[in-house]
Amino acid sequence: MKKENNNDLLHNGIIYKILSSLLYLIAYPILFLITKLLLGLRIEGRENLEKVGDEYIVVANHINTIDCAMIAISIFPRVPYFLTLQSNLEIPIIKYIVMLLRGIPIPKNINGKKKIINTVKKLLKGGEVIGIYPEGHLIPYYDGLRKFKNGAFNLSANNQVPIVPILFTYREPDGIMKMIKKKSYITLKILEPEYPKKEISKCNIEKLKNDVYRKMKNELTKNKIYNKELDEEQIKQNC
């Protein structure tokens, strides 16, 4: 599948759009059943999505190989785009699935980073939702909150769109499932949005990042299963 525009990373061809839509129609009900039956997915806070417009950036902690599917289920009928590692689009066969499920690779070179900025800007102007993992990489079943990178918050400020934090936490299975399930169930909570300041500055972007981190951390510490100190303290205001 070839791109039509060298200034961004989008695939806009009619064949791509048809295949992508078909894959979502097939994958969505399957993933819904998997996340509900095997992971016990519980979604909370959907009412917070009513506080934002069409375009926004979702940020979430990265704790499961299919947590992007859980995010997509939680904001349905919206279909988000996700920024993903370039390496995920270098795996035979898998790369086509990631591409069709709206995965956008994060390039490693400077020219590629410009394309990411153009791509996100184009999508947000078109009223789309972008999913970003500010921790950067996956640690399965990690129950803390790791240091955030700046990317999502730079994009939020420069495009003047809100950040919707999504937090994955764990809970013990109920009833008879306690005897069957060894791993905890997953709860996805959509938190209230955070908005960038109109004045774009390094200080304001840092504050936005810290405000989102603090909101997610505060919610995380309410969780009954989480019972240890967060191993990375991010909240430092240096401006």
Q: Which CATH number is 134's domain given?
A: 3.40.1130.10
User: Does residue 7 form part of some domain?
Assistant: no
Answer whether residue 82 is part of any domain: yes
H-helix segments, 42-164: 67-74, 94-100, 110-125, 151-159
Half-sphere exposure of 77 (CA within 13 A, CB side): 2
pLDDT of residue 230: 44
pLDDT at position 226 is 47
Assess if residue 216 is contained within a domain.
Answer: yes
Exposed, middle or buried: residue 204 (CB in 10 Å: 0-12, 13-18, 19+)? middle
Q: Is 4 exposed, middle or buried (0-12, 13-18, 19+ CB in 10 A)?
A: exposed
Contact between 124 and 55 (Cβ < 8 Å)? yes
Instruction: Tell me what pLDDT residue 86 has.
Output: 75
pLDDT number for residue 87 = 73
101, 71 in Cβ contact below 8 A?
no
88-98: b (≥16 Cβ within 10 Å) or e: bbeeeeeeeeb
Residue 120 belongs to some domain of the structure: yes
Nearest to 119 by CA among 108, 110, 106, 109: 106
* 66 falls within a domain: yes
Instruction: Report yes or no on 227 lying in a domain.
Output: no
Total number of domains constituting the chain:
1
State which residues form the domain around 163. 14-220
Q: What phi and psi, each to the nearest 5 degrees, are found at residue 68?
A: -65, -35
Q: With residue 85 as reference, give the H or E element that holds it.
A: strand 81-85
Note down pLDDT in tens along the chain; length 239 residues: 545 456 767 777 788 888 888 888 888 899 899 999 889 999 999 999 999 999 999 999 999 988 999 999 999 989 999 998 777 777 777 777 777 778 888 877 766 788 889 999 999 999 999 999 999 888 988 888 999 999 999 999 999 999 999 999 998 887 666 666 677 899 999 999 999 999 999 999 999 999 999 999 999 887 655 444 444 455 555 56
Does any domain span residue 226? no
Report if pTM > 0.75. Answer: yes
> What is the CB neighbour count within 10 angstroms for residue 99?
20
Residue 2 lies in a domain: no
